Amino acid sequence: MAEQRPKTLFDKIWDAHVVETLPDGTALLYIDLHLTHEVTTPQAYDGLRAAGRKVRRPDLTLAVVDHNIATDSSRRTGIVDPESRLQVETLERNVAEFGVPYIPLLDDRQGIVHVIGPELGRSLPGMTIVCGDSHTSTHGAMGALAFGIGTSEVEHVLATQTLLQKPARNMQVLVEGDLAFGCTGKDITLAVIGRIGTAGGTGHVIEYMGDAIRRLDMAGRMTVCNMAIEAGARAGMVAPDETTFDYIRRTPNGPKGEAFEAALRWWRSLPTDAGARFDKVVKLDAHAIAPQVTWGTNPEAVLPITGLVPDPADEPDEAKRAQMERMVQYMGLTPGQRLTDLKVDVVFIGSCTNSRIEDIRAAAAIARGRRVADGVRAMVVPGSGLVKAEAECEGLDRILKEAGFEWREAGCSMCLGMNPDKLTPGQRCASTSNRNFEGRQGPGGRTHLLSPAMAAAAAVAGHLADVRDFQPTGGV
């Protein structure tokens, strides 16, 4: 019987959210949580106004500002850039007009949308979660089906709380074994992309499984799922378990008491059934993963830190060779050069990939008792006001500042070059963000993606460095 077919985590959440199936197989899928920010919503609200429509479920919608804002003290006196200011003011006008809950810039809980959703307890297992932002895949770490949408779909969700969707295929990424010293969720997710490529997950939802994933804390799982989109996947997910439930118990807005117990019964039924079929399976040995760093201009161009810049001449495929030549040229590299010989100008620790308290602890463990190398600008940008407060409570800000790092306010910052934090042409940056595309961090900027500990090591060394050579100098 069809009903008893073993199901994946994705299948279960999908099936529970189908409002109706249209004759051609397209599902009208119910959305449990709609996260929004200032960049991808103004045109959606204009659309609602033009059609005389309301926001159907303001209570399932949450707005925050993160992309456009400054991450220094200037935010307290207003946004300088007139276009950025207009975009933020437009969001504020829209949420007021349509009654949508909003966390303003100077609220303690303000932060990157993909940090605050889980942190506040709004992103929960079994949910469907969308946001006009591709890194919505992050929330899949909670055991939710979470994916990015465009502005027209934002308008569709605002108006109907549903989306028209075709089911995705299931892909399993199985990471087994002990993660080696110095390696993190970031190294896993980069190694996966290196293996399957930037389009390896297209049309699929990836479920990350295996004991190496199970042993990751929630921050590590969020980092892994965050970059599922960089492998082209519609979403990334990790089944909820005790780690997830303990995390939710500590959130301010998660369900409490009886509601929590009732939710727990549903959450425990979510993990993939034994015998469920995956359309695609990829296996990685966690122990074989070394600290990763990207050398090129897409996340698939990744190598262990011990690697050498590849030589395009070795690539037989003409189109791929041309792409590699362009990467080597844009990144200012010499084939055969050791990655650890690449001097960095800027170090950026932050973004929806790596700005949680665990990430900042990892950076501080390397920074403690050391100094940022001369000529390097190193910045740490916590993912939210709550992360910032917790880090300050633990004294991490002091350790980082003493080492010469800038300690900043929460926001997307230097991940994407649309606020004051950006690279200048030719600058080389060790970055914990998610995209090393040409110009992503500012026109002409050169991005190397890596983990927070690796980024801190690069800041101290002045060049890309192997974190395994940097034993922490004591507990933090």
Partner 1 sequence: MQAFTSLTGIAAPLPKANVDTDQIIPARFLKSISRAGFGKHLFANFRFKDGGSENPEFILNQEPYRRAEILIAFENFGCGSSREHAPWALMDFGIRCVIAPDFADIFHNNCFKNGLLPVRLPRAVCEQLMEDARLGGNARLTVDLERQVVVRPNGEEIPFEVDPLRRHLLLNGLDDIGQTLQHATAIDSYEARQRASQPWLNGSL
Q: Per rule CB under 8 A, is residue 427 in the interface with partner 1?
A: no
- Which residue, 122 or 388, has its beta carbon nearer to partner 1? 122
Kindly state whether residue 420 participates in binding partner 1, applying the rule CB under 8 A: no
- Give the chain as a 3 state SS string: CHHHCCCCHHHHHHHHHEEEECCCCCEEEECCEEEECCCCCHHHHHHHHHHCCCCCCHHHEEEECCCCCCCCHHHHHCCCCHHHHHHHHHHHHHHHHHCCCEECCCCCCCECHHHHHHHHCCCCCCCEEEECCHHHHHHHHHCCEEEECCHHHHHHHHHHCEEEECCCEEEEEEEECCCCCCCCHHHHHHHHHHHHCCCCCECEEEEEECHHHHCCCHHHHHHHHHHHHHHCECEEECCCCHHHHHHHHCCCCCCCHHHHHHHHHHHHCCCCCCCCCCCEEEEEEHHHCCCEEECCCCCCCEEECCCECCCHHHCCCHHHHHHHHHHHHHCCCCCCCEHHHCECCEEEECCCCCCCHHHHHHHHHHHCCCCCCCCCEEEECCCEHHHHHHHHHCCHHHHHHHCCCEECCCCCHHHCCCCCCCCCCCCEEEECCCCCCCCCCCCCCEEEECCHHHHHHHHHHCECCCHHHCCCCCCC
Q: What phi-psi label fits residue 232: left (phi over 0), alpha (psi between -120 and 50 degrees) or beta?
A: left
Q: Which of 87, 109, 322, 125 is nearest to 241 (CA)?
A: 125
Pick 39 or 222: Cβ nearer partner 1: 39
**Is 444 an interacting residue with respect to partner 1 (CB under 8 A)?**
yes
Minimum distance between the CB of residue 395 and partner 1, rounded to whole angstroms? 29
Q: Does 120 bind partner 1 (CB under 8 A)?
A: yes
Question: Under rule CB under 8 A, which residues in 287-316 are in contact with partner 1?
Answer: 298
Residue 446 lies near partner 1 (rule: CB under 8 A): no
Q: Is 51 in the site for partner 1 (CB under 8 A)?
A: yes
Among 66, 155, 207, 409, binds partner 1 (CB under 8 A): 155
Whichever of 301 and 465 has its CB closer to partner 1, that residue is 301
Closest CB to partner 1 among 24 and 314? Answer: 24
CB atoms within 10 A of CB 101: 13
Binding residues for partner 1 restricted to 166-205, rule: CB under 8 A: 166, 198-199, 202-203
Interaction of residue 134 with partner 1, rule CB under 8 A? yes
Binding mask 5-24 for partner 1 (x = CB under 8 A): --------------xx-x-x
Spatial distance between the Cα atoms of 280 and 203, rounded to a whole number of angstroms: 11
Compute the least distance from the CB of residue 292 to partner 1, in Å: 19
Q: Which is nearer to partner 1, 168 or 459 (CB)?
A: 168
Distance from C-alpha of 454 to C-alpha of 292, rounded to nearest angstrom: 9
Q: Which of 6, 80, 96, 152 contacts partner 1 by CB under 8 A?
A: 152
Q: Which one, 60 or 372, has the nearer CB to partner 1?
A: 60
Instruction: Choose one: 156-164, 214-222, 273-281, 465-473; the region binding partner 1 (CB under 8 A).
Output: 156-164
Instruction: Kindly state the smallest distance separating residue 394's Cβ from partner 1, in Å.
Output: 26
Using CB under 8 A as the binding rule, whether residue 447 contacts partner 1 is answered as no
Q: Residues 404, 417, 462, 472: which binds partner 1 (CB under 8 A)?
A: 417
Interface with partner 1 by CB under 8 A: which range of 45-53, 182-190, 364-372, 462-470?
45-53
Residues of span 216-235 touching partner 1 by CB under 8 A: 229, 232, 234
Q: Could you give the CA distance from residue 167 to residue 128 in angstroms, rounded to a whole number?
A: 13
435 binds partner 1 (CB under 8 A): yes
The residue range among 261-269, 361-369, 403-411, 465-473 that interacts with partner 1, by the rule CB under 8 A, is 261-269
Find the binder of partner 1 among 7, 37, 75, 122 (CB under 8 A).
122
By CB under 8 A, the count of residues binding partner 1 is 85
Q: Which is nearer to partner 1, 67 or 463 (CB)?
A: 67
106 is a site residue for partner 1 (CB under 8 A): no
Q: Cα(223)–Cα(302) distance, rounded to whole angstroms?
A: 16
In the complex, least distance from residue 131 CB atom to partner 1, rounded to whole angstroms: 8
- Using CB under 8 A as the binding rule, whether residue 32 contacts partner 1 is answered as yes
- By CB under 8 A, is residue 112 in contact with partner 1? no
Interface residue with partner 1 among 69, 276, 416, 453 (CB under 8 A) is 416
Residue closer to partner 1 (CB basis): 192 or 305: 192
367 binds partner 1 (CB under 8 A): no
